[in-house]
Amino acid sequence: MAITETDDQMMTRVATSYLPKFETVEEERRHRKERLAAGFRLFGKFGFDEGVAGHITARDPEHLDHFWVNPFGMSFKHIRVSDLILVNRDGDVVEGNAAVNAAAFAIHSQVHEARPDVIAAAHSHSLHGKAWSSLGRLLDPLTQDACAFYEDHALFDDFTGVVLDLEEGKRIAHALGDHKAAILRNHGLLTVGHSVDEAVWWFITMERTCQAQLLAEAAGTPVHISPESARHTSTQVGSHVAGWFSFSPLYATIVREQPDLLE
Ligand SMILES: [Zn+2]
């Protein structure tokens, strides 16, 4: 029999075979929290922190209107599984001994509510994401990696100060629509995923995509990938499975470097 499997079919098959299955909700919760703590350590390692700004959330697998998030004011570089706090739909911390960032609640509660498919959402004031956001433009398909966002990200074209109001969180969720990411003008990036792995990966690669476009446009006039090729490439690098799988080597690296994150 001839082997006719394409690269992306192989990637989907390989990745799907590794998709985690859980016997209990406790196991699934633990898994999500480990990914979440690893996501924070990676954000810290890549310098995505800016003072106390930034948050990644993971929906609880049992209480679907609750999410796990970082304690307000704790360095991304120090967060362990046991430091994560659980917040309910009213913004109360129902597990853990720390406060929740009001902006994290305002934005993430509305995104999780508007998008039942979303397990995780990530936002921070990473340098290239916020620099790009000030241009008030969507990203162009300049590289293979950028195609993950082709016709799959939105611009929240408004800035009125720190997001503390649920109504503003709602408007951000509305701008996001059914996309994987949004550029919050004059603020930074927001990404979502069907797994923590995916949301964190989209954030990391979107930040680098912003950097790549800033570099390319500073140096000259970049050549755009054609709409047909960009659309095709987005099916290869922009799927939920591709996002999930792309996070694997980063997770393995950070757990080996900083095993205390699992405590
Ligand atoms: Zn912010």
Query: What global pTM score does this model have?
Result: 0.93
pLDDT value at position 8? 64
CA of 163 to the centre of ligand 1 (A): 7
CA of 168 to the centre of ligand 1 (A): 12
CA of 53 to the centre of ligand 1 (A): 6
Please answer whether residues 125 and 54 qualify as being in contact, where contact means their C-beta atoms are separated by less than 8 angstroms.
yes
pLDDT value at position 1? 45
Per-residue pLDDT averaged across 73-79, rounded? Answer: 98
pLDDT tens-digit profile of 22-62? 999 999 999 999 999 999 999 999 999 999 999 999 999 99
Per-residue pLDDT averaged across 193-205, rounded? Answer: 97
* pLDDT over threshold 50, residue 107: yes
pLDDT value at position 144? 98
pLDDT value at position 11? 64
CA of 104 to the centre of ligand 1 (A): 8
CA of 144 to the centre of ligand 1 (A): 28
Structure tokens belonging to residue 243 = 């996002």
CA of 84 to the centre of ligand 1 (A): 19
CA of 201 to the centre of ligand 1 (A): 18
CA of 74 to the centre of ligand 1 (A): 15
Angle at 209 between CA 219 and CA 78, to 5 degrees: 125
pLDDT tens-digit profile of 143-165? 999 999 999 999 999 888 888 88
CA of 130 to the centre of ligand 1 (A): 10
Closest CA to 99 of 31, 29, 52: 52
CA of 238 to the centre of ligand 1 (A): 24
pLDDT value at position 160? 84
